[in-house]
Amino acid sequence: MSKVSKTDWKRLAEMKDSDIDTSDIPELDDAFFLNAEVKVPAKQPVTLRLDSDVLGWFKSQGAGYQTRINKLLRSYMENQTHR
């Protein structure tokens, strides 16, 4: 992607939380959290054959490479199902 962000990141980084206008965002009250549900899909162990250079690249990024592979696959899955 070649789009350049027009966001003034320096100004945002220096902004205090109290300076952010959140008037259009309702507060989450106790009732919201009483009914809220966390849905985390169960993990399932699998044996998966990957090209050695692909696996090596993910591992070279440090700990959590399996989680990163899962996130990438989830992103692809969601993109394909929302077409």
Tell me: pLDDT of 27 over 70.
yes
Structural domain spans, the chain: 9-81
Tell me: pLDDT of 1 over 70.
no
The pLDDT-based confidence of 73 (bands split at 50, 70, 90) is very high
Q: What is the tens place of the pLDDT at every residue in 32-63?
A: 899 899 888 999 999 999 999 999 999 999 99
What is the rounded CA–CA span in Å between residue 72 and residue 50? 14
User: Contact, 69 vs 80, CB < 8 A?
Assistant: no
Closest CA to 72 of 3, 39, 83, 57: 57
**Is-above-0.85 flag for pTM?**
no
